[in-house]
């Protein structure tokens, strides 16, 4: 299947799924609030009735952070990073849970979001997707370890020298390669998730290795699909920056507009995530259907016997 | 057998050592040194003539042998650093012979002292007993042969690749403090060991140094290059540098340096208006604040060639404003050294008429990276170079004064700094008062501002107290006294104490004299103490009174939460837009103000101009009746947005 066709079908699937992005957004909002509300409470307690807040309306004053650290003996450092890490882990598990539902909806015949179907898919697929998540961590770990090893290599080659430039350029290349490889792992494991859900399989390693095989056998299509959807995400971000820059940020109406725009972008980003699933599901279906056709035993045909000339 | 040393006096007089120039020329160094790039070492011979300008006789001489800090992991420096240098990173200095010129060999009487701790393994201070005392007003000349093995660059000295920053490299005599000088009640040596958190202290004099290095090396050093002689057969070149009225000598060599020269021309750099304004501010005739041309030399790494003009612009700013505010830079040259990548430990350090800067390949101008270092290290020509306080014992007098001065220059010339980590991302602009105050708040109560450098709680407390806290202490004093008074205090202090060794007491004396106030309360609390300032709006009450005409009786209570006392201004704003200002000496724990009028209190603010940078809590300095909805909503929505986006990134793996 061609990437454009896969993406357009994926987009249709996301649209058909109706409220599903909003479900994702709701949970994202709840998890974000778990971090934001305590910070908001501190801000209110410290600055709610202070003129200092008004002075910081245009430009946040980093001195306030230093004051806060001084007053609390650095308590935020001990509290917030663990809290953020905890929320992030929770959100990853939530994402694993919801991914099962989203793929179930996309893979269903009607493709429409129904809470029963969605949450049944979430529950049925959670543990297999969780196992797959653990497998994916091995792959991500290998990429990061390779990146660290490359850094060490760069340091051993140029680190003792008197020029910074080669090491910086090497660092850029290394970072670029690391990002590409992380995205590749991300893409491969999208296909592995699809495979587990579509085939109703529990074999995570097999799904992962199968996804590797699938991606490499259809490198052009899978990469192009992933890249084009990623471009949609970039376009969304650029659009947000272009529009948000025109909104007056210190006026009440502007703040409200910005809030709406920001949340729209978050929903848009969730939509892109679902678009990845939808488009890649179409690619997966196209590839597996083609494989099935190829693997069908050839039909026995009776060779046509040329008619012999009547007269020899 | 000992020999009389009376003959040294006419020699010293001939050398113009006794108040010959502006400085008391206590020392006269004639050094010849050869850089051995294979051994990473310097072979040197030093003729030191030292003048005893006290009224007491001196029976022993003390020397700094700083390079021995790097000889093993047992030195005080390494113990304090918890350093474990590798074998190829070690450095040391060996005094091969020491004798009185034309007289006794004192080599065998050399011994190591450890006046600051009980570390018998430390060899950074050497004492030599003299066969005969140096009488008051007399001199002694010594001949010293030494071998210095340079460490891999550490604590601003050493080598990296083909780059050599040769500092603290020769036997340097300590300071014999006369009775009445600084805190001395009788003549005494001030010669501290080399510590992890300390710098230097030495006497003024003349340095004439001949340096031999491979001829393909570019060499820069303290002072003026008198001549360069090349030895084609040996493929070496010998440079002779001379400088008077300095208290140290450092040099650098590398085949990679690009040497660029410019001239600081006051006629072009300082407008007539600036000159007039400065003269008016200081209450001086324009002639007295005029500057003189200076030859600026930059030794820069090839990969930093694109930043040449940035370095010169920063140096021009330093020469201009330090010159206008405190007094002209009196030396004919100033040399900036740009260490290579990997040699960063040599960067950001001051020596007389030479300093090391430091930058990286693609650093944004908004970060003020080489700019800040250039202005700061140049500033040390004033606060350390000329006003030569004891950096071991009173680091705030150089680092703090310099932080105060350079912060003002950087804000004036470059504006707020962008602290964003990447050149491609813009962050909020932050001025240097905010940066210094933010740093101070990270450990406001850890130590008194003033301590011996090696006696702070830790290295970070030494840094925090000596630099940013000192900087904002002086800025707070400026805000309290007014710009003109502070400018006159600083100029008077510089003019009075240049080429001498002042102490904190001397600065306080100048501040009291120029301001016409007794500022003991301020220095006692903020220099000799660690109490913090924190004033808070306690309560605000509005009560409606009067039957016919609507009247309000309002009570405002201000509290002192910190232990430190500072006079404060209070601004009260009423709901009808009117304001009332009050002053409070800030002494008792609280104060109450009553207001009666047609409008109630809308807001109260202590120190509305944010003049007291030492106040550790600006947030509680004010109170408003209504809630700050807009700012809170703005931050809350932005936080939410960032949190959601971060979660989406993290969730990408699921």
Q: Does the beta-carbon distance from B628 to A48 stay under 8 Å?
A: yes
Nearest CA in chain B to A37: B636
Q: Does the beta-carbon distance from B623 to A92 stay under 8 Å?
A: no
Residue A58 pLDDT exceeds 80 = no
B438 closest CB neighbour out of A52, A66, A133: A66
Residue A250: list chain B partners with CB under 8 A: 630, 634
Residue A8 pLDDT exceeds 90 = yes
Nearest CA in chain A to B434: A63
Residue B620: list chain A partners with CB under 8 A: 50
Nearest CA in chain A to B338: A162
Which residues are paired to B231 by β-bridges?
Answer: B236
Nearest CA in chain B to A97: B654
Number of compact structural domains in chain B: 4
Q: Does the beta-carbon distance from A162 to B161 stay under 8 Å?
A: yes
- Whether B390 is covered by a domain: the verdict is no
Residue A50: list chain B partners with CB under 8 A: 619-624, 628
Residue B345 pLDDT exceeds 80 = yes
Nearest CA in chain A to B629: A48
Query: Can you give the pLDDT at residue B1?
Result: 43
Distance CA B506, CA A94 (A): 67
B335 with B445, same domain? no
For A124-164, the pLDDT digits (tens) are 999 999 999 999 999 999 999 999 999 999 999 998 899 99
Cβ neighbours for A216, distance < 8 A, ≥ 6 positions apart: none
What's the pLDDT band for B9 if we cut at 50, 70, 90? very low
Ramachandran quadrant class, A22 (left: phi over 0; alpha: psi -120 to 50; beta: rest):
alpha
Distance CA B443, CA B454 (A): 17
Tokens 């004439």, residue located: B208
Tell me the average pLDDT across A9-29: 94
**Spatial CA neighbour of B291 closest among B311, B254, B317:** B317
Nearest CA in chain B to A140: B653
- Whether B129 is covered by a domain: the verdict is yes
Residue B645: list chain A partners with CB under 8 A: 266, 269
Q: Is B428 within 8 Å of chain A by CB? A: yes
Domain that residue B84 falls in = 1-213
Query: Can you give the pLDDT at residue B131?
Result: 96
If you count residue pairs, one on A and one on B, with CB atoms under 8 Å apart, how many are there? Answer: 192
B491 with B585, same domain? no
SS3 category, A93: helix
- What part of A 272-301 touches B (C-beta under 8 Å)? 273
For B373-382, the pLDDT digits (tens) are 999 999 999 9
Q: How many residues does chain A have?
A: 312
B163 closest CB neighbour out of A65, A136, A162: A162
Residue A140: list chain B partners with CB under 8 A: 653
Ramachandran quadrant class, A74 (left: phi over 0; alpha: psi -120 to 50; beta: rest):
left
Q: Is A125 within 8 Å of chain B by CB? A: no
Q: Is B636 within 8 Å of chain A by CB? A: yes
Nearest CA in chain A to B442: A70
Q: Is B621 within 8 Å of chain A by CB? A: yes
Query: Can you give the pLDDT at residue A291?
Result: 61
Q: Is B644 within 8 Å of chain A by CB? A: yes
B328-341 in b/e form (b: 16+ CB < 10 A) is: bbbbebbbbbbbbb
DSSP B362: T
Chain B nearest-CA distance from A77, in A, is: 12
Q: Does the beta-carbon distance from B651 to A93 stay under 8 Å?
A: no
Nearest 5°: the CA angle B374, B379, B380 is 105
- What part of A 190-229 touches B (C-beta under 8 Å)? none
A31 closest CB neighbour out of B628, B647, B652: B647
- What part of A 144-163 touches B (C-beta under 8 Å)? 159-163
Nearest CA in chain A to B418: A62
B368 with B515, same domain? no
Chain A nearest-CA distance from B574, in A, is: 14
B631 closest CB neighbour out of A57, A66, A189: A57
Query: Can you give the pLDDT at residue B428?
Result: 75
**Which of B460, B633, B644 best tests the A interface by mutation, with the highest count of A CBs <10 A?**
B644
Q: How far is CA B461 from the centre of its chain?
A: 15
Q: How many residues does chain B have?
A: 654
Residue B2 pLDDT exceeds 60 = no
Please give the torsion angle defined by the CA atoms of residues B62, B66, B71 and B74, in that order, rounded to the nearest 10 degrees.
Answer: 70
Distance CA B599, CA B579 (A): 11
Please answer whether residues B63 and B153 qualify as being in contact, where contact means their C-beta atoms are separated by less than 8 angstroms. no
Nearest CA in chain B to A58: B631
Query: Can you give the pLDDT at residue B18?
Result: 38
Cβ neighbours for A43, distance < 8 A, ≥ 6 positions apart: B632, B635, B636
Q: Does the beta-carbon distance from A36 to B616 stay under 8 Å?
A: no
CA atoms within 13 A on the CB side of B116: 23
B38 with B136, same domain? yes
Which residues are paired to B579 by β-bridges?
Answer: B573
Query: Can you give the pLDDT at residue A308?
Result: 54
Q: Does the beta-carbon distance from A35 to B636 stay under 8 Å?
A: no
For A219-233, the pLDDT digits (tens) are 999 999 999 999 999
Q: Does the beta-carbon distance from A163 to B639 stay under 8 Å?
A: no
SS3 category, B298: strand
**Spatial CA neighbour of B355 closest among B220, B203, B173, B200:** B220
What mean pLDDT, rounded, does chain B reach? Answer: 94
Residue B430: list chain A partners with CB under 8 A: 62
Residue B19 pLDDT exceeds 70 = no
Residue A163: list chain B partners with CB under 8 A: 301, 303, 340-341
Number of Cβ within 10 Å of residue B229's Cβ equals 11
Q: What is the pTM of this model?
A: 0.90
Q: Does the beta-carbon distance from A140 to B651 stay under 8 Å?
A: no
What's the pLDDT band for A1 if we cut at 50, 70, 90? low
Q: Is A165 exposed, middle or buried (0-12, 13-18, 19+ CB in 10 A)?
A: middle
B517 with B544, same domain? no
Nearest 5°: the CA angle A267, A272, A275 is 125
Cβ neighbours for A295, distance < 8 A, ≥ 6 positions apart: none
Tell me the average pLDDT across B15-31: 70
CATH of the domain at B623: 2.60.40
Please answer whether residues A235 and A271 qualify as being in contact, where contact means their C-beta atoms are separated by less than 8 angstroms. no
Tell me the average pLDDT across B204-222: 98
Q: Does the beta-carbon distance from B632 to A250 stay under 8 Å?
A: no
Tell me the average pLDDT across B600-605: 96
Q: Does the beta-carbon distance from B639 to A36 stay under 8 Å?
A: yes
Tokens 């990173």, residue located: B89
Residue B429 pLDDT exceeds 90 = no
For B361-397, the pLDDT digits (tens) are 988 888 888 999 999 999 999 999 999 999 999 999 9
Q: Does the beta-carbon distance from B340 to A162 stay under 8 Å?
A: yes
Chain A nearest-CA distance from B417, in A, is: 12
Q: Does the beta-carbon distance from B632 to A49 stay under 8 Å?
A: no
Distance CA B99, CA B47 (A): 10
For B403-413, the pLDDT digits (tens) are 999 999 999 99
What's the pLDDT band for A60 if we cut at 50, 70, 90? confident
Distance CA B633, CA A36 (A): 12
For B151-185, the pLDDT digits (tens) are 999 999 999 999 999 999 999 999 999 999 999 99
For A227-270, the pLDDT digits (tens) are 999 999 999 999 999 999 999 888 889 999 999 999 999 999 99
Residue A60: list chain B partners with CB under 8 A: 428, 635
- Whether B510 is covered by a domain: the verdict is yes
Residue A293 pLDDT exceeds 70 = no
Q: Is A60 within 8 Å of chain B by CB? A: yes
- Euclidean distance between the first and final Cα of chain B, in Å? 88
B368 with B507, same domain? no
B172 with B273, same domain? no
Lowest mean pLDDT among B48-62, B162-176, B335-349, B424-438: B424-438
Distance CA A251, CA B317 (A): 40
Q: Does the beta-carbon distance from A49 to B256 stay under 8 Å?
A: no
Lowest mean pLDDT among A110-114, A173-177, B37-41, B58-62: A110-114
B330 with B471, same domain? no
Q: Is A73 within 8 Å of chain B by CB? A: no
Q: Is B429 within 8 Å of chain A by CB? A: yes
B500 with B562, same domain? no
What's the pLDDT band for B116 if we cut at 50, 70, 90? very high
For B526-541, the pLDDT digits (tens) are 999 999 999 999 999 9
B129 with B13, same domain? yes
Query: Can you give the pLDDT at residue B7?
Result: 39
Q: Which of B526, B543, B575 is the last residue of a domain?
A: B526
B541 with B520, same domain? no
B59 with B206, same domain? yes
B654 closest CB neighbour out of A66, A92, A269: A92
Query: Can you give the pLDDT at residue B17?
Result: 40
Query: Can you give the pLDDT at residue B5?
Result: 40
Q: Is A266 within 8 Å of chain B by CB? A: yes
């Amino acid at each position: 299947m061609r990437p454009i066709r896969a993406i357009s079908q994926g987009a249709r699937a996301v649209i058909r799924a109706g409220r599903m992005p909003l479900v994702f957004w709701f949970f994202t909002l709840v998890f974000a609030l778990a971090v934001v509300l305590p910070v908001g409470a501190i801000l209110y307690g410290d600055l709610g009735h202070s003129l200092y807040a008004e002075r910081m309306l245009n430009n946040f004053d980093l001195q306030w952070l230093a004051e806060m650290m001084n007053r609390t003996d650095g308590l935020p450092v001990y509290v917030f990073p663990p809290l953020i890490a905890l929320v992030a882990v929770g959100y990853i598990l939530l994402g694993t849970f919801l991914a099962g539902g989203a793929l179930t909806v996309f893979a269903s015949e009607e493709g429409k979001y129904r809470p029963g179907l969605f949450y049944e898919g979430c529950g049925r697929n959670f543990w297999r997707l969780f196992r797959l998540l653990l497998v994916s961590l091995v792959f991500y770990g290998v990429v990061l370890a390779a990146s660290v090893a490359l850094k060490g290599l760069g340091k051993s080659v140029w680190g003792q020298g008197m020029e910074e430039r080669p090491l910086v350029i090497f660092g850029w290349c290394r970072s670029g390669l690391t990002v590409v490889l992380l995205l590749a792992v991300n893409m491969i494991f999208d296909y592995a998730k699809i495979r587990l859900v579509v085939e109703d399989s529990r074999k995570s390693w097999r799904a992962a290795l199968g996804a590797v095989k699938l991606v490499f056998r259809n490198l052009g299509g899978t990469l192009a699909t992933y890249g084009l959807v990623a471009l949609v995400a970039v376009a969304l971000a650029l659009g947000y920056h272009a529009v948000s820059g025109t909104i007056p940020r210190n006026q009440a109406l502007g703040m409200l507009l910005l809030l709406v725009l920001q949340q729209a972008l978050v929903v848009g980003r969730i939509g892109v995530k679902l678009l990845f699933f939808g488009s890649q599901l179409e690619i997966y279906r196209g590839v597996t259907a083609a494989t099935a056709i190829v693997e069908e035993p050839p039909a026995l045909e009776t060779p046509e016997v040329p008619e012999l000339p009547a007269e020899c | 057998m000992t020999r009389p040393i009376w003959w040294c006096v006419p020699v010293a007089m001939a050398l113009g050592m006794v108040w010959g120039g502006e400085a008391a020329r206590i020392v006269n160094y004639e050094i010849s040194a050869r850089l051995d790039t294979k051994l990473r070492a310097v072979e040197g011979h030093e003729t030191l003539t030292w003048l005893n300008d006290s009224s007491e006789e001196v029976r022993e001489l003390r020397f700094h042998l700083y390079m021995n800090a790097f000889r093993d992991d047992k030195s005080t420096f390494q113990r304090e650093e918890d350093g474990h240098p590798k074998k190829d990173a070690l450095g040391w200095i060996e005094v091969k012979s020491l004798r009185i010129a034309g007289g006794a060999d004192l080599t065998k009487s050399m011994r190591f002292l450890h006046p600051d701790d009980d570390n018998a393994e430390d060899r950074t201070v050497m004492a030599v007993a003299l066969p005969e005392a140096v009488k008051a007003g007399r001199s002694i000349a010594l001949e010293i042969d030494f071998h210095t093995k340079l460490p891999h660059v550490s604590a601003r000295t050493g080598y990296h690749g083909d780059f050599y920053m040769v500092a603290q490299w020769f036997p340097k005599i300590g300071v014999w403090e006369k009775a009445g000088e600084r805190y001395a009640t009788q003549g005494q040596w001030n010669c501290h060991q080399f510590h992890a958190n300390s710098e230097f202290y030495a006497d003024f004099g003349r340095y004439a140094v001949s340096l031999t290095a491979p001829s393909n090396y570019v060499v820069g050093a303290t002072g003026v290059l008198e001549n360069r002689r090349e030895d084609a057969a040996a493929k070496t070149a010998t440079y002779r540098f001379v400088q008077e009225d300095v208290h140290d000598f450092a040099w650098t060599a590398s085949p990679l340096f690009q040497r660029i020269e410019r001239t600081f021309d006051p006629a072009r750099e300082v407008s007539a208006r600036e000159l007039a304004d400065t003269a008016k501010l200081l209450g001086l005739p324009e002639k007295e604040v005029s500057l003189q041309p200076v030859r600026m030399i930059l030794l820069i790494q090839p990969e930093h060639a694109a930043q040449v003009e940035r370095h010169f612009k920063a140096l021009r700013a330093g020469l201009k404003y330090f010159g206008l505010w405190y007094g002209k830079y009196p030396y004919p040259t100033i040399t900036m050294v740009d260490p290579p990548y990997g040699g960063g430990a040599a960067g950001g350090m001051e020596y007389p008429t030479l300093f090391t800067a430091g930058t990286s390949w693609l650093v944004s101008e908004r970060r003020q990276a080489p700019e800040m270092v250039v202005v700061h290290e140049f500033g040390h020509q004033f606060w350390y170079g000329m006003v030569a306080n004891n950096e071991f014992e009173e680091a705030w007098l150089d680092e703090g004064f310099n932080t105060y001065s350079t912060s003002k220059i950087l804000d004036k010339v470059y504006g707020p700094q962008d602290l964003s980590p990447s050149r491609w991302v813009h962050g909020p602009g932050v001025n240097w008062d905010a940066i210094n105050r933010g740093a101070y708040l990270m450990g406001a109560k850890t130590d008194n501002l003033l301590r011996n450098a090696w006696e702070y709680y830790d290295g970070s407390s030494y840094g925090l107290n000596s630099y940013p806290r000192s900087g904002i202490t002086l800025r707070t004093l400026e805000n309290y006294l007014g710009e003109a008074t502070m400018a006159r205090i600083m100029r008077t202090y510089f003019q009075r104490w240049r080429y001498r060794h002042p102490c904190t007491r001397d600065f306080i004396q100048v501040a009291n004299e120029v301001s016409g106030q007794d500022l003991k309360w301020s220095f006692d609390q903020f220099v000799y103490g660690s109490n913090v300032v924190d004033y808070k709006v306690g309560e605000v009450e509005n009560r409606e009174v009067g039957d016919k005409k609507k009247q309000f009786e309002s009570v405002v209570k201000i509290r002192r939460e910190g232990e430190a006392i500072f006079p404060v201004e209070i601004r009260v704003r009423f709901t009808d837009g009117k304001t009332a200002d009050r002053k409070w000496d800030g002494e008792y724990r609280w104060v109450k103000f009553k207001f009666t009028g047609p409008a109630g209190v809308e807001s109260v603010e202590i120190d509305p101009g944010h003049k007291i940078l030492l106040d550790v809590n600006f947030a509680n300095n004010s109170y408003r009746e209504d809630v700050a909805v807009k700012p809170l909503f703005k931050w809350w929505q932005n936080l939410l947005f960032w949190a959601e986006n971060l979660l989406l990134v993290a969730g990408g793996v699921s």
